[in-house]
């Protein structure tokens, strides 16, 4: 009887967490409170709570946090040294006064930049360059914002710092050749969706008067040379081809970024630039790190009460991966507003329940929970931090943004789920 009552209370807590997350409340607080509630309901011993759940779970995440911090630092180097702005400026100059071509190329370039650049600060800084260009060229503001969000999301498939976040929940998965193969295919699919999105929406949008855009030239870009375009791709190349670990790969990218832009010419300049970019990078990722720590704590609590959930749900949740895969394809929009298919939201509870059942392979769970945050949330959900900024910056209505982007994000999700299942899992 205790098991049944406890299981019902755990599920009730889960539903409360889902509603809490979908209302846009603070995730860090929500996960911590839910973790404590599950420990109380499951009668977890106090020593286990203070040691295993609140200490060991956080301490074990140190390596991944380092990757996130160094990734955000590298993103800030790309922005603050003018490398990102230089690449965008050259892209605009190459296309001339051709709005459609400019929109296509500039978003593709951004997508490539974000295969390594990481952090909300980097997205905002680059967006403040790109979005005014697109809107001045006559691109409808909702298409400009939507395309840029798709471009940012498209880089996440191969972004080491972004993908590493999921290793906290799925520790058996690594950024290795198996993942890189899937990530490269998903990036290709995402690129195709991005191009089709721009072509379709540009063709149906009301044309405005087009005029040339003179790109401002910040002081940091004054003496940059063409070879700086290699810098954004240093981390992913060193990891994929040279088999480096992420932190030294990012450090190499940071060093080359500073060296090739003349920021290592003298000691004082180097110290100032290193300190500023590191500080800004940590600030960019601070709230994310706090949320991820709370996710770890919640997951550790869920592991302790896993037998109760397993006994209660074993007969109700399908044990076929194909059925679960189809359900995720059909219900993909439930990742919006931190819903049950968004792992960095109420979805962490669902992921933990499926893990507790012990029925599904870890690689399968990784794929189905890793894809919606990129394909749905980063591509079409207004609760994403940088999306909220972009919508405010461009004055685009939230409902209009979802209406414009969600259909494309849904198609992207289904395609990537199917590819992930056949390429990565089987």
Classify residue 119 by its DSSP letter: S
426 residues of the chain, pLDDT tens digit each = 666 788 788 888 878 887 887 777 787 888 899 889 989 988 899 999 999 999 988 888 788 888 889 988 998 898 889 888 888 888 888 776 788 888 899 999 999 999 988 878 888 888 888 888 888 888 888 899 999 999 999 999 999 989 988 988 888 888 888 899 999 999 999 999 999 999 998 876 655 444 444 444 443 455 788 888 899 889 888 888 888 888 999 999 999 999 999 899 889 989 999 999 999 888 888 888 888 888 888 888 887 877 777 666 666 778 889 999 999 999 999 998 888 888 888 788 788 888 877 788 899 999 999 999 999 999 998 888 888 888 888 888 888 899 999 999 999 999 999 999 988 666
- Cβ-based neighbours of 220, under 8 Å, separated by 6 or more: 80, 81, 82, 85, 261
Q: 3-class DSSP state for residue 343?
A: coil
- Cα angle 203, 136, 119 (rounded to 5 degrees) comes to 95
Contact status, residue 357 vs residue 310, Cβ threshold 8 Å: yes
State the pLDDT at residue 108. Answer: 93
Return the structure tokens found at 296: 């770890």
- Cβ-based neighbours of 395, under 8 Å, separated by 6 or more: 141
Strands (E), 155-230: none
Phi, psi of 266 (to 5 degrees): -145, 160
Q: DSSP states of 130-190 as a string? A: HHHHHHHTT--HHHHHHHHHHHHHHHTTT-HHHHHGGGGT-TT--SSHHHHHHHHHHHHHH
Alpha carbons 324 and 61: distance in angstroms, whole number: 28
pTM here is 0.83
State the pLDDT at residue 215. Answer: 47
State the pLDDT at residue 204. Answer: 65
With 0-12 CB in 10 A as exposed, 13-18 as middle and 19+ as buried, what is 422?
exposed
């Amino acid at each position: 009887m205790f098991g049944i009552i406890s299981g019902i209370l755990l599920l009730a807590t889960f539903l409360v967490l889902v509603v809490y997350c979908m209302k846009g409340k603070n995730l860090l607080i929500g996960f911590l409170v839910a973790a404590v509630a599950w420990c109380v309901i499951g009668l977890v011993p106090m020593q286990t709570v203070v040691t295993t759940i609140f200490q060991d779970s956080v301490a074990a995440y140190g390596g991944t946090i380092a990757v996130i911090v160094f990734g955000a630092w590298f993103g800030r180097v790309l922005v603050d040294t003018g490398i990102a702005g230089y690449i965008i400026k050259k892209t605009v100059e190459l296309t001339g006064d051709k709005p459609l071509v400019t929109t296509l190329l500039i978003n593709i370039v951004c997508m490539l930049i974000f295969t390594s650049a990481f952090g909300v600060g980097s997205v905002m800084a680059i967006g403040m360059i790109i979005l005014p260009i697109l809107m001045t060229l006559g691109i409808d503001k909702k298409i400009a914002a939507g395309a840029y969000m798709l471009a940012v999301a498209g880089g996440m498939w191969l972004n080491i710092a972004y993908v590493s976040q999921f290793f906290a929940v799925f520790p058996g998965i690594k950024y290795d050749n198996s993942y890189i193969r899937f990530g490269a295919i998903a990036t290709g699919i995402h690129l195709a969706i991005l191009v089709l999105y721009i072509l379709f929406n540009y063709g149906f949008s009301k044309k405005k008067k087009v005029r040339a855009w003179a790109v401002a030239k910040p002081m940091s870009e004054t003496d940059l040379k063409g070879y700086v375009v290699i810098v954004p791709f240093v981390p992913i190349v060193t990891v994929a081809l040279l088999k480096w670990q992420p932190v030294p790969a990012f450090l190499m990218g940071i060093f080359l970024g500073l060296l090739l832009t003349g920021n290592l010419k003298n000691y004082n300049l180097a110290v100032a630039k290193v300190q500023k970019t590191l500080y800004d990078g940590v600030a960019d990722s601070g709230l994310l790190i706090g949320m991820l720590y709370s996710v770890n704590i919640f997951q550790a609590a869920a592991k302790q009460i896993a037998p109760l959930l397993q006994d209660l749900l074993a007969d109700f949740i399908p044990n076929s991966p194909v059925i679960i895969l189809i359900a995720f394809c059909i219900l993909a929009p439930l990742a919006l507003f931190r819903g049950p298919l968004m792992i960095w939201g109420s979805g962490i509870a669902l992921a933990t329940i499926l893990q507790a059942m012990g029925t599904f392979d870890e690689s399968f769970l990784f794929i189905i929970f890793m894809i919606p945050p990129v394909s749905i949330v980063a591509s079409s959900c207004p609760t994403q931090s940088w999306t909220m900024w972009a919508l405010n910056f461009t004055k685009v209505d939230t409902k209009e943004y979802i209406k414009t982007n969600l259909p494309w994000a849904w198609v992207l999700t289904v395609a990537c789920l199917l590819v992930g299942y056949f390429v990565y899992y089987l």
